[in-house]
Amino acid sequence: MDINNILANLEAKHPGEKEYLQAVKEVLLCVEDVYNQHPEFEKARIIERMVEPDRIVTFRVTWVDDRGEVQNNIGYRVQFNNAIGPYKGGIRFHASVNLSILKFLGFEQTFKNALTTLPMGGAKGGSDFSPRGKSEAEIMRFCQAFILGLWKNLGPDRDVPAGDIGVGGREVGYMYGMYKRLVNEHNGAFTGKGLDFGGSLIRPEATGFGALYFVQSMLAEKGDDIKGKTVAVSGFGNVAWGATLKATELGAKVVTISGPDGYIYDPEGVSGEKIDYMLYLRATGEDIVAPYAEKYPEATFYPGRKPWEQKVDIALPCATQNEVDGEDARKLVENGVEMVAEVSNMGCTPEAIDTFLQSKTIYAPGKAVNAGGVATSGLEMSQNAMHLQWTAEEVDDKLHQIMKNIHTQCVKYGKEPDGYINYMKGANIAGFMKVANAMMGQGII
């Protein structure tokens, strides 16, 4: 495989799609060696077929705001790859959403979903709609208008969306409600639904819980334990909440959370009612964390800064892509961070990852660490298909097993001769091999 040639061709076809090209480059660099050991892959042009989405749906979303004014947004669904199962992946509502971001997310999702071992292909969707400051009624009307543009492409065996940034249980409920009305079927074509209409127990917690199970495995691999560790978390949404909840339950101390306005340092730890307060902060819809330091005076608010300047044992980026850059990584390493587990998708820039790998700091990528979210979505699909509901313990046990298994796959493909585990390489190779083999088995299509 000539990586430079493939990337140059992609760049010429999709100029300026920097997040997408970044995600593709990372995977290609990791799988180059195994790919070259399989001439049949090259013959079938597996890489060229895998880096291009199967299909992209783009649509106008028109809705009326509370002042009676007509608003227009763009909606997208990137159906990336369905070699392993129906298209599956979240919907993101954020002002920054564009095709490059959704293509990178759909590409990553394909390998992540393969790692879960459940039958799910990869997809991602969303809109440049910003939920910040919108009323409940505006959110509902937007969700309904979004589904009007997308519903024909969805279905439990076709494409199953869920939440992501800006889309939680409330938005999934509104979207699924409109979808159900249009197809006249209660078929579970969304995951992350409310518990009263087909949702799975533990799905809200799953991304954060799964991430901490993965961190436990990483620590156990080096004969260590999470008890007493200090943890820096970024973000304050659903993922940061679940991670903080489980880290605290396991005996670690989470000392930071963050928002677009800056970060909070709480030396006493974000625990107990403070974890619930994150949910309250999120529900205000203002997208700021500053009020935490007013409510809890032991905490300090650092406006416009990121938590990676604090000395901690474990760093858990839980906010968004490229939130840890080279300089942040250098600060973390200088302060002796023991491990960095990305819970956000592609949370670290390539420069940050290089800094971790060169200093032999343990680093694991989002597609492994955060796979518990979509894995539990897969479990929700199973429950819907069987028309039953598992207990929280059943779902949590399965999630635990899945995360352990992903860790084992990463070690299998990522262990280097000196014993250092390159989790990025391990996750990318394991995910790639499964997707490649599934595509090979289904012919040239």
Residue 407 neighbours by CB under 8 Å, 6+ apart:
214, 217, 218, 221, 368
Using the minimum distance from each CB to ligand 2IT, give the nearer residue, 87 or 292.
87
DSSP secondary structure letters along 84-130: SSSEEEEEEE-TT--HHHHHHHHHHHHHHHHHTTSS--EEEEEES--
Distance CA 441, CA 371 (A): 25
Please count the residues of the chain: 445
Evaluate the CA torsion angle 169, 174, 175, 177 in order and state its sign: positive
Evaluate the CA torsion angle 129, 287, 19, 240 in order and state its sign: negative
Smallest distance from ligand 2IT to CB 50, Å: 18
Distance CA 197, CA 200 (A): 9
Using the minimum distance from each CB to ligand 2IT, give the nearer residue, 175 or 374.
374
Place of tokens 């000395």: 311
Which tokens in the block code for residue 177?
A: 């409600």
> Is the CB of residue 42 less than 8 Å from the CB of residue 34?
no
Smallest distance from ligand 2IT to CB 377, Å: 3
Q: Which residue is nearest to ligand 2IT (CB)?
A: 90
What residues line the site for ligand 2IT (CB under 6 A)?
Answer: 88-90, 109, 162, 164, 191, 345, 370, 373-374, 377
Using the minimum distance from each CB to ligand 2IT, give the nearer residue, 165 or 257.
165
Q: Residue 409: what residue type?
A: Q
User: Checking DSSP bridges between strand 122-127 and strand 70-81, what pairing results, if any?
Assistant: antiparallel
Provide the H-helix boundaries in 255-349. 273-283, 291-295, 326-334
Using the minimum distance from each CB to ligand 2IT, give the nearer residue, 61 or 371.
371
Using the minimum distance from each CB to ligand 2IT, give the nearer residue, 374 or 410.
374
Smallest distance from ligand 2IT to CB 342, Å: 11
Smallest distance from ligand 2IT to CB 191, Å: 5
Smallest distance from ligand 2IT to CB 126, Å: 10
Residue 124 falls in the annotated catalytic set: yes
Smallest distance from ligand 2IT to CB 45, Å: 27
Using the minimum distance from each CB to ligand 2IT, give the nearer residue, 210 or 414.
210
Nearest to residue 399, comparing CAs of 432, 382, 423, 377? 377
Nearest to residue 372, comparing CAs of 384, 360, 364? 364
Smallest distance from ligand 2IT to CB 375, Å: 8
Using the minimum distance from each CB to ligand 2IT, give the nearer residue, 252 or 369.
369
Question: Phi and psi at residue 15, in whole multiples of 5°?
Answer: -60, 140
Distance CA 260, CA 277 (A): 17
DSSP secondary structure letters along 219-279: HHHTT---TT-EEEE---SHHHHHHHHHHHHTT-EEEEEEETTEEEE-TT-S-THHHHHHH
Choosing from 124, 306, 367, 425, which is the catalytic residue?
A: 124
The catalytic residue positions are: 124
